[in-house]
């Protein structure tokens, strides 16, 4: 966790504004989605932050980050692909990272374009 915020470390993040109003997401799920978007490659819509990075950025535990990611997968907001490589020492396959594909689609009313969210 970070004790202080360094203004030189701020970086912009672009995410769908409708994400903030999606009634199917809890606040913690929204936060994790925003964190994933902050690490997303705009050309491939993929990101690969570690569970610990997600936890640190969201100020939650690593186990909470894992559970939230599982919920986002089950709700079809993200797709997770486990990446492996062959270990040099033992020759066994070991997991190196998770690749997340963000598949968030704004929910719209049938026959209407745009968002169906209510403004606060």
CATH for 79: 1.10.10.10
5 within some domain: no
Q: How many domains does the chain have?
A: 1
Domain membership of residue 49 as a residue range: 19-102
Asked whether residue 27 is domain-assigned, the answer is: yes
Is pTM, for the whole model, over 0.85?
no
Q: In angstroms, what CA-CA distances link 110 with 5, 24, 91, 95, 118?
A: 43, 18, 53, 42, 16
**At 119, is the pLDDT very low, low, confident or very high (cuts 50, 70, 90)?**
very low
Q: Residue 115 domain-assigned?
A: no
User: For 76-116, what is each residue's pLDDT tens digit?
Assistant: 999 999 888 888 888 888 888 899 999 877 665 554 444 44
Q: How far apart are CA 76 and CA 104, in angstroms?
A: 8
112: in domain:
no
CA angle 77, 37, 11 (to 5 degrees): 170
Domain contains 78:
yes
55's tokens: 């936890």
Predicted local distance difference test score (pLDDT) of residue 28: 97
Q: For residue 118, name the pLDDT band (cuts at 50, 70, 90).
A: very low
């Amino acid at each position: 966790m970070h004790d202080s915020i360094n203004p030189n470390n701020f970086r912009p993040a672009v995410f769908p504004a409708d994400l903030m109003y999606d009634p199917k997401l809890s606040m913690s799920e929204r936060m994790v989605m925003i964190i994933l978007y902050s690490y997303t490659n705009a050309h491939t819509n993929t990101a690969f932050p570690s569970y610990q990075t997600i936890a640190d950025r969201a100020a939650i535990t690593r186990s909470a980050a894992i559970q939230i990611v599982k919920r986002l997968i089950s709700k079809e907001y993200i797709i997770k692909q486990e990446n492996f490589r062959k270990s040099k020492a033992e020759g066994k396959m070991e997991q190196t990272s998770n690749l997340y594909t963000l598949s968030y689609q704004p929910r719209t009313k049938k026959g209407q374009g745009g968002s169906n969210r209510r403004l606060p």
